Structure formats: C-alpha cells, structure tokens
Structure 1
C-alpha cells in the first residue's frame, strides 16, 4: 500500500468511526415512550437559560426575572446567562451546560428560555439526553427554541412547550394561557380570540381553512426555518401520524415555498395527519418578476395531501400567543380553526 492509499484508508476509517460515535450519542428513533414533565406550582423554582443569541441589554434579564417572579416563581439564573461570544449567549459548551445543569438540578421544576434568535441548533450534540429523559421538566420557549423542542422530542419523547420566551410580552392573554396550562392544568381548547375591532367582520386572528375535516395525533413543529434546518439530522422527530404546526417571521414567500418543498422532498409532509400554520409575520415578497402568494404556496404543498389543514392559528411571533405542548395529543378541527388537548400533559400526582 502506497502512502497516498494509506492516508485515504485512514481518513475513511476515521470518518466511519466518527459517524459511529455520533450515532451512539444521538439516534433518530430512540426506543422511548412519551414522557410527561412534572407539574408546576406557584412557589416552585424555575431556571432561566439562554440557548441562542445574547440579549442586547442586561436590563432584559432583569425584566424577564421579574416577570417570572410575578407569575409566582423563584428564579435561578443560568451560570452563563450573561456570557457572550459574537451574537451568541456564550460558547456552545456554556449554553449547553446551563441546560444540562438545570435538568440535573433537583430544585429546578421548569426551564424557561430567555429569548430566541439563532444558535440553539449548535448545542444539540452537547445536550445530555439520558439526563433530560430521566429528569422530565417543563421547557418553555419558541422561535429558535424550536431546535430544542424537536431534538428533545426526537431523543427523549418528553413533552415540551412552545410559547412565550421570558423576554416576550407577558400581557393579560399570555398570563392567562400560562396559568391555565401550567397551574390549572386544563385540557385546553385553543380557539382564536376576536380582538376589539371597529369593523363589521373579523379581520385579525382570522382562520383560513385549507382542507376541511378533523384529525388526531401528537403535535410537533415550531418555527419553519429552524425546523427545516434540522433535516437529515437525528434531532428531527418522526412525522408519522402527527399534527404539524408551523410559523415563521420575516421570510419572503419564496423561502416559505422552498422550505415546504424541503419537507415534501424528505417525505415528512406525506406522513402527517393534520396541518396548522400560525402567523407569518412580515413575510413580504421582495422584488423580481413576481411571486407565489401564500395561498398558492399552501394550495400547492398542503391541499394535495388531503388532510385537515388550516392557517391563522395564534401561534408564532405575535403579541398574544397560545402555549402549546409539543408532543401532546390533540384533536384539530380545520373548519372551526381550533384544536384541543385530548390527554393531560403533566405527570399525575
């Protein structure tokens, strides 16, 4: 064997070993059953972490902490909450260690994400999934936190919660959602509210049915951009029989079309039982020779699936948003533009 062939053989061996080691630490279909987090109560201690971008002002951390205290909690700050590396809230190891430590800490009953942005996907290989699986707790956040929701769902089957980050608006609607979901532990019925409008018919929070019908299944999804960026990784859950809920912000329609094309090409859309799309905030066309409308995009990708589907749910980058359980079992009604929980999403007792 000459030197060139020897080097090539060594490189191939190293690559295979790397793939083997990675598959041992994270598999796409772990043999686990659905896990429910422990229930929350006022007076509990919650952990505040920042898996993604750093906040611009430390005052935002103070406001977030005060909001959680106003909700009735004691708050423990992540060790690296104020760290910074570029736009990120510290190094990948620092951000991942804060999450791992919060799951390991027996005094912490829930983990609340400070903000979204970008960077959560970078830490997915560094999370301790056996630790998370054995210490099931509430995880709350949205936007870039979609990466955590899907990875934890894929690797542990733990139900997590898509809803306001700690720096989001804690208006009356969101506080009411939080109390009903976490303190009262309702089997929630999610129906868009009608805002006070000086108009004869409802314009805001309006539901558009794509295909009629009802469907049941576990809820998965989150931010479309973040979710599709996980394609081909072991951090995307199985879509079979699931209700897919998506939202996005500041994405031109052609990008929404491209990302739905990705989900179609990877076979994900053909597996789902139902589809909901929330808000697409500031998803405006850019210059060019023309563009597909959002209606045309959904008609091209979703309507041919012949499954119940609607858009306009109060999910996403909006001031008032539903708090929904990723992994929770729901029934959706595409004609009414609503969905409801079928089973509790917390441990009993």
Structure 2
C-alpha cells in the first residue's frame, strides 16, 4: 500500500488532494499554473472539508499568486478569511490587535520587505502597560501570519524567527483562609454602602464562579427561575452553558430586580451608566474596597473565580463537578486546584489504612 496518493480535484483543476491510506486523512494543496509551479498547502482534512478547500482555492486564485506582490494588509485579510473558515475562536481579537498596533506601522508595506527590525518596531510600539501575556499574543499573531505567508509563497522567510515569547509569570493563587473570607465579606459590606451595584456584582461572582465578562453580558431574559439556572451565551470557549442559581445567587438577583427601574426582560443584569450598555468593569471601586479592608491591591476580579473554585475543592466537591461549574473545557484546567484537596486525600488515606488493618487482623 502506498504511503500517499496524490490526485487532482475534479472540480478545481489546480486543487491537489494528497491522501494517506494508513490514517484515512488527507491534505489539500494548490499548484500555480505559471512560474515555479510551487505547491501551496491549504490545510488538512482535520481543518477543512473538501468544499472549504475548494472555496479557498478559488478565493486565492492560485494561478496569479506568483506574480503578485502583496502588502501586509492583503496577507492579513487572507489570513483572517482562512481563520474564519476554520472557526478560529481568537480571530476577532486578532483583527482588533492588528488594526490598532500593526496596521499603522507595516500594513501598507510589501510582505517581502518585512524584516526583524519592522517586527521589533511593532512590538516596541505596544502600550507599556500591556502584560507579558498580551505581548506574547501579539507576537504569536504576527508569527502565525508570517508563517502563513511563507506557506502561501508570498515571502521567503518568517521575520519573527529572531524573537522569542517571554516566559509568563503565573498570577498568584490566594490561599482560602478564614481571614481572606472575612475580609471579602467586609469588602462587600463597604461596597454595598458606597457602590451597591458593584457590591452585588462581587457577591454574584463569589457565589457563581463566573468570569466577570460572562457576568456583565447577562440579561434578565437569560435568568430562568423555573429551571433555576442562568444561561451564558458569551463564554470564553464560545459555547453556551448553564450556571445553577444557588441561595446566595438568588438573593443577589432579588436585590437587583428590586433596584432595577423600568424592569424589562432584555435589559442588562448589571446596567451601565450609558443607556442600553452593560456595566464596564468597575476596577476603581473594587481597588478602593480592597484598600479599605486590607485585601491585596493585586487581587483581581478573576481571582474571585479562583477563590470560588478553591472553596469548592476544599469542601470536598469532586474535580469533575468543579470543572462543570466553572465551564472549563478540559479537566486539566481544573486540576490546578487539586493540591487544595490534600486534607481530603489524607482522610481518605487514613480510611484505607484502617480498612486494610481490619482485614489483615481478621485473617490472622
């Protein structure tokens, strides 16, 4: 049996399909009709269907690619179109990053003249306040785009090869103690007296474990009291999920409903200052509350989600259940909290030891 079989598509003559009989997979290529007839990879059967590969082949008009000198803007637009076909989750964020920080510097230049100095100029032009993680996302986006350009034959090499991603420092995970719980309660009380909506938001996050972006995107029509859950349409993973309404959450919802004037189903759970807009992230009131009650100044809204997960694990809730409560796509993301269950493991180990001792005694 041959390792691979190469055939031309019956619909698009310059679309080449390379099949691998041993795995049942295949790869899609386009071959130019002029010049060096370089074969350009479109993707694999795991990334594209045959129809999508045909669309890519027609859209890119391969026979004329070798004669065209493309700008960075044109290559990025094509890179985005491929990402949209593959349902790439981060494509919208990448478009915003490109238009804000990359396009003004190198967008109009030919992709063939871009060198490491141009990439450094883009990276140096990023806002100083950006985190290491965000800077890495910019570099990863540029790297993916230039590698796409090399694959398509628009340029000879990737100019980002001389730059490395900076090692990211993991955010501190706060240990759940009685002191931390007490100070969080004090912070909520202070916020209730000065910024009631923010106080309700903090309580809501602590009682549901939601991401703040998920909470601020909720409308009253997403709240189902009969089924006792909240439907989240805007999630990090892009998948709709349901969050159970517990007693603490139900109390917050009641307070919000009482304080919402002209209550309508399609209004925001946490409305903002501007009409028709949700609340923006209330960072300043939260920082003030942390300062007043003695919480760490670096404590973020996202840390409330970690604290919720930590409480779950320390209370003996199985990791699989915690994964579903948090909406993690993989159990590996939830396993970071496994060390917090050390006491439970110790108790379980002692129970096994006692059972084994009884069993051995009975046999003697």
The answer to which structure has the higher helix fraction is 2
TM-score (normalised: structure 2): 0.24
Where relative contact order (Cα < 8 A, 6+ residues apart) is larger, the structure is: 1
TM-score (normalised: structure 1): 0.25
Higher Rg: 2
The answer to which structure has the higher strand fraction is 1
